[in-house]
A and B are shown apart, each in its own frame.
Chain A
Amino acid sequence: MIYAVFAPLLFAILVPWISKHKDRIHTGIFVFFIPFIIFLYFIQFVGADFSPIRETYNWVPSLNMNFDFYLDGLSLLFVLLISGIGSLVVLYSVFYLEKSERLGHFYVFLLMFMAAMLGVVLSDNVFVLYAFWELTSISSFLLIGYWNFKERSRYGALKSMLITVFGGLSLLGGFVLLTVITGTTSIQGMIEQVDVILASKYLPLILTFILLGAFTKSAQFPFHIWLPDAMEAPTPVSAYLHSATMVKAGIFLVARFSPIFAGYEGFFISVSLVGIVTLCWGSYMAVRQTDLKGILAFSTISQLGMIMAMLGFGTEAAVFAAVFHILNHATFKGSLFMVAGIIDHETGTRDIRKLGGLITLMPMTATLAVFATFSMAGVPLPFLNGFYSKELFFDATIDLEGAAWLSQAIPYLAVLGSIFTFVYSMYFFFGVFTGPKQLEQLPKKPHEAPFGMLISPIILVLGVILIGIFPEMVNAPFLQHAAESVNKNVEYHKVYFWHGFNTPLMMSLTVVGAGIILFVTRRKWDKVYHVLPGKLSFNRVYNFIVEKMDTYSAAITNTYMTGSLRTYMVLILGATLIVTAGYMFLTDGFTINVGNLAEVTVLEVAVVITIIIGAIATLFMRNNIAAILVTGIVGYGVATLFVIYRAPDIALTQLVVETVSIALFLLCFYHLPNLQKREEAPKTKLTNFFISAGFGLLITLVGISAHSSDWFDSISSYFVENSYKLGGGDNIVNVILVDFRGLDTLFEIAVLGIAALAVVALIKMKKKKGAE
Chain B
Amino acid sequence: MIRPNNLILRTTTSLIAFLLLGFSIYSFFAGHNAPGGGFIGGLMTAGAILLLYMSYGIETVDEMLPINYTTLISSGLAIAVGTGVGSFIFGAPFLSHTFGYFHFPIFGEVELATAMLFDLGVYLTVVGVVMTIILTIANDQE
The CA of A653 and the CA of B27, in the complex, are separated in Å by 12
- Residues 723 to 771 of chain A near chain B (Cβ within 8 Å): 727-731, 733-735, 737-739, 742-743, 745-746, 749-750, 752-753, 755-757, 759-760, 763-764, 766-767, 770
Q: Assess the A760–B132 pair: CB atoms within 8 A.
A: yes
A-B contact pairs, 17 of them (CB 8 A): A660-B134, A667-B137, A668-B137, A729-B115, A731-B33, A731-B37, A735-B115, A737-B39, A739-B115, A742-B97, A746-B84, A749-B77, A749-B122, A750-B77, A752-B125, A753-B74, A766-B142
B99 touches A653 (CB 8 A): no
A757 to B76, CA, bound (A): 14
The answer for the CA separation of A730 and B84 in the assembled complex, in Å, is 22
A653 touches B39 (CB 8 A): yes
State the interface size on chain A (CB cutoff 8 A): 42
Within 8 A of A (CB), among B1-57: 27, 31-40, 43-44, 46-47, 50
Q: Quick one: given A729-B32, A738-B115, are A763 and B136 in contact (CB under 8 Å)?
A: yes
Q: Name the A residues within 8 Å of B27 (CB-CB).
A: 652
From A652, A653, A766, name the one whose CB has the most chain B CB atoms within 10 angstroms.
Answer: A652
Look across to chain B and name the residue whose beta carbon is closest to the beta carbon of A724: B33
Chain B residues with Cβ under 8 A from A745's Cβ?
Answer: 80, 118, 122
Q: A residues within 8 Å of B by Cβ? A: 648-649, 652-653, 656-657, 659-660, 663-664, 667-668, 671, 727-731, 733-735, 737-739, 742-743, 745-746, 749-750, 752-753, 755-757, 759-760, 763-764, 766-767, 770
* B122 engages A738 (CB within 8 Å): yes
> Could you tell me if B84 and A649 are in contact, using CB atoms closer than 8 angstroms?
no
Question: Across the interface, do B134 and A730 meet the contact criterion of CB distance under 8 Å?
Answer: no
Q: Which residues of A contact B133 (CB under 8 A)?
A: 664, 755-756, 759
Check B50–A734 contact: CB distance below 8 A: no
A-facing mask of B82-105, CB < 8 A → 1, else 0? 001000000000110101000000
A759 touches B137 (CB 8 A): yes
A749→B70 contact, CB < 8 A? no
Main secondary structure of the interface of A (DSSP, over half): helix
With contact pairs A668-B137, A742-B97 given, residues A657 and B43 touching in the complex (Cβ less than 8 Å)? yes
Contact assessment for A756 and B122 in the assembled complex, using a CB-CB cutoff below 8 Å: no
CB atoms of A759 and B32 under 8 A apart: no
Docked pose: A671 CA to B76 CA in angstroms:
32
Pick from A656, A737, A756, A770: contact of B37, CB below 8 A: A737
Q: Choose among A731, A759, A770 the residue that contacts B31 (Cβ–Cβ < 8 A).
A: A731
Say how far A198's CB is from chain B's closest CB, in angstroms.
Answer: 63
Q: Give A770's nearest chain B residue, CB to CB.
A: B142
The residue from B77, B122, B130 contacting A660, defined by CB atoms under 8 A apart: B130
Count of CB-CB pairs between chains A and B under 8 Å: 141
Q: Judging by beta carbons under 8 Å apart, are B132 and A738 in contact?
A: no
Among residues of A, the one whose C-beta sits closest to the C-beta of B69 is A756
Query: Which B residues have a C-beta under 8 Å from some C-beta of A?
Result: 27, 31-40, 43-44, 46-47, 50, 70, 73-74, 76-77, 80-81, 84, 94-95, 97, 99, 111, 113, 115, 118-119, 121-122, 125-126, 128-130, 132-134, 136-138, 140, 142
Q: Given the interface contacts A737-B37, A738-B119, A753-B125, does A667 sit within 8 Å of B44 by beta carbon?
A: no
Q: Is the interface of B mostly helix, strand, loop or mixed?
A: helix
- Take A729-B32, A731-B36, A737-B37 as given contacts and tell me if A749 and B121 are in contact as well, using a CB distance cutoff of 8 Å: yes
> In whole angstroms, how far apart are the Cα atoms of A755 and B138 in the complex?
16
Q: Which of A743, A749, A755 has the most CB of B within 10 A?
A: A749
Provide the residues of chain B in CB contact with A737, threshold 8 Å. 37, 39
CB contacts (< 8 Å) of A733 on chain B: these are 35, 37
B34 touching A742, Cβ below 8 Å:
no
Contacts of A767 in B (CB 8 A): 140
* Known contacts A746-B81, A755-B133; A731 and B97 CB within 8 A of each other: no
- Select from chain A the residue with minimum beta-carbon distance to B139: A763
Give chain B residues whose Cβ lies under 8 Å from the Cβ of A746. 80-81, 84, 95, 118
Please tell me if the beta carbons of A753 and B128 are within 8 angstroms of each other in the complex: yes
Of A664, A735, A739, the most chain B CB neighbours within 10 A belong to A739
Q: Which residue of A lies closest to B131 (CB)?
A: A756
A729 touches B130 (CB 8 A): no
In angstroms, Cα B141 to Cα A671, docked, is: 10
In the assembled complex, the CB of B109 is this many whole angstroms from the nearest CB of chain A, namely: 13
Q: Which residues of A contact B137 (CB under 8 A)?
A: 664, 667-668, 759, 763
Assuming the contacts A648-B35, A746-B95, A756-B70, asked whether A763 and B43 have C-beta atoms less than 8 A apart, the reply is no
Cβ–Cβ < 8 Å partners of B84 in chain A: 742-743, 746
CB-CB under 8 A from A759, the residues of chain B are 132-133, 136-137
Given A649-B40, A728-B111, A730-B33: A757 in contact with B70 (beta carbons within 8 A): yes
Q: Which residues on A sit within 8 Å (CB–CB) of B118?
A: 738, 742, 745-746
CA distance A643 to B126 in the complex (A): 23
Q: Are A660 and B132 in contact (CB under 8 A)?
A: no
Residue in A closest to B138 when the chains form the complex, CB atoms: A667
Which single residue of chain B is at the shortest CB-CB distance from A668? B137
The residue of chain A having its C-beta at the shortest distance from the C-beta of B74 within the complex is: A753
- Report the Cα distance A374→B99, complex, angstroms: 103
**Chain A residues with Cβ under 8 A from B134's Cβ?**
660, 663-664, 667
Q: Which residues of A contact B129 (CB under 8 A)?
A: 749, 752-753, 755-756
Minimum CB–CB distance for B9 against chain A, Å: 16
Q: Could you say which residues of chain B place their CB within 8 Å of the CB of A755?
A: 129, 133
Task: Assess the B125–A749 pair: CB atoms within 8 A.
Answer: yes
Q: Given contacts A660-B130, A753-B74, could you give 10 more A-B pairs where the C-beta distance is less than 8 Å?
A: A656-B40, A728-B115, A729-B115, A734-B32, A742-B84, A745-B118, A749-B76, A749-B80, A763-B140, A764-B136
Taking the closest CB of chain A, its distance from the CB of B121, in whole angstroms, is 7
Indicate if the CB atoms of B97 and A653 lie closer than 8 Å.
no
Q: How far is the CB of A765 from chain B (nearest CB, A)?
A: 12
CA–CA, A356 and B28, complex, Å: 104
CA distance A746 to B81 in the complex (A): 7
B43 touches A660 (CB 8 A): yes
Residues from chain B with Cβ under 8 Å of A653 in the complex = 39-40, 43
- Give the complex CA separation of A752 and B80 in angstroms: 13
* Cβ-closest chain A residue relative to B137: A667
**Alpha-carbon distance between A612 and B94 when the two chains are bound, in angstroms:** 44
B32 CB to nearest A CB, Å: 4
From B44, B74, B119, B140, give the contact of A656 (CB < 8 A). B44
A734 and B36 in contact, given A671-B142, A728-B115, A729-B113 (Cβ under 8 angstroms): yes
* Minimum CB–CB distance for B78 against chain A, Å: 11
What 6 A-B pairs are tightest by C-beta distance, nearest first? A728-B99, A729-B32, A648-B35, A656-B43, A730-B33, A749-B125
The smallest beta-carbon distance between B34 and chain A, in angstroms, is: 6
Taking the closest CB of chain B, its distance from the CB of A634, in whole angstroms, is: 19
A100 to B63, CA, bound (A): 78
